[in-house]
Chains A and B, each alone.
Chain A
């Protein structure tokens, strides 16, 4: 679908698009100006909590031979890793805390507790994914080069295995992420720069080595006769973290209502249109405060994509303003309970494992006139699944 169609659907005039851009710029300026002590206190609290959880988990696992201790230690360690990857690592590496000028909480220095080197993540995620959000052929986050997530992607018999690939990706997500910046697609096409590939592989090797040494050698050895217990506990904690982060991240762009774009839309894109693409391409989920913290505030994926480098603890506040803006301009704001968003994502993965003709067809995009008259709930029906929108380009 062409970008023009999105704008048609959203029935916005050029002036309105510009006005939306200006409003979002104003929100950004307001938040930037109000960053201060309270925000610093927040991130320091999360850091302290995360380090305590990690230490408590490791210590508990010295008794890993005792099943309740194994369970508790694994849970503590798993949550420490989740917190570190989501609320700390992801957000710090976005530069959300760079304004503090604190060299210890800075995007240029942060290294996270997972197998992908920070430097590569900053390229594949901060730059590629956030710049080219949901643009087919540019954004490798669409299905991570493994899954077919849009009707616009050509079907291949190998896609039949999608549900299985997805389960494996969820379990070993950190490895998927670790290889992400290598750009498997480019390697397959023989377009990859070989010296760069070597350098990246070396970096990954070093990081993987350190991570594995810690989780699978050092701590198990420290617990002596309980080597295997501790090893399985650490392995399980990593799997818990993997499944969780995979779920949260997939809920950000694949629930029904999140739109994919084609290359043409990038041409002459203004800043305001970029904003619009971020809003239409992202999806939120609802939940309590704890859920938001444990997901790195990615339940506010729309806000995060609009302002990737504003402090995550402000997204809730920003979301009130963004929702108001969406309502006034009649722009869809995709959100729902976590289970529902996740369910829709899984349904799409299942469905798109089959060729387009085997699954429901797409209605033509709405004419601007029609859409203006649509009531909210009707629009919700129209957008009941991913894919209904795409394909008609």
Chain B
């Protein structure tokens, strides 16, 4: 693990920081300043099926794209800027400082992109990566199935040869976030039913416009969600869309899951101190205490407890980022996923405790918009410890991969 040699590197990073700051102040659309906490989920999701996008968001994408900064660490050949992770962190720090959204976000940028960089062939990289950098295509994830949630290796989507150059897909995926707005889906499919669970899986890319692909929205307890289920009926896919080897998709799948956990972890730890600011604001509103020490000692203690956990989590994100030389997420992504999502739930629970009866509205004039949306976000946070690999699955990963505890028999 090589630490950046301090003096030269930090001088260079300082220079880069100044350059980025100047660039953003000059080129970023003024209307976007201060609009975003700049987390991975906050920005332009891209794609051809995206609803109306403000012109300034597209302009922000274009000025950053011209410098390869929509995917700063990707090689220049694929639309990135070939920067180090330390540089990317500086870039994002500066965006956060100005409250600018990420120019391009989503599963293409955060999940399939890094995975293609690692496992894709040259043709696949050239076909997809520049389009992801440009926000031209949006991706969704075809992992889960009705009978393969936490037992992901149990995927059954049938993938059978159809002539010399194609496969035929039949089956169903679930929790395919944003499938109704996506251009492409990356799928785990069953190519060998005789093999042991993990051995007969293939990682394959499917154009959502292919005949036979049908996404359908799923509503959650919060009343809305990005989730969909997606049906595959005699869907013909070129063999060249297989990433990695046929029947060896599990390796690709695991790498991608690491990127996903990282993305979820980072998205929650996006703005240091935001939890405290949010909870103190709620406390002042609901306890009718515009200033000074909060009058309810127990609520004050609870706000402090959650805010301190958030501070420790932020520092852990920083520490792990400093500790790793290259960017691939390792087992620490499991820690980040579980801590981040549970922290988020505790934050909402603390907020709901502060809101009391004002948190019980679903609709109507007795509640302001903030009350109503907070209640729904609290409900939405219940999904965070399930999606992207449940907390229990993360604990299994830590137990085996980090602590070396034996397999459950």
Q: Are the chains A and B members of one assembly? A: no
Interface residues of A (CB under 8 A from B): none
Interface residues of B (CB under 8 A from A): none
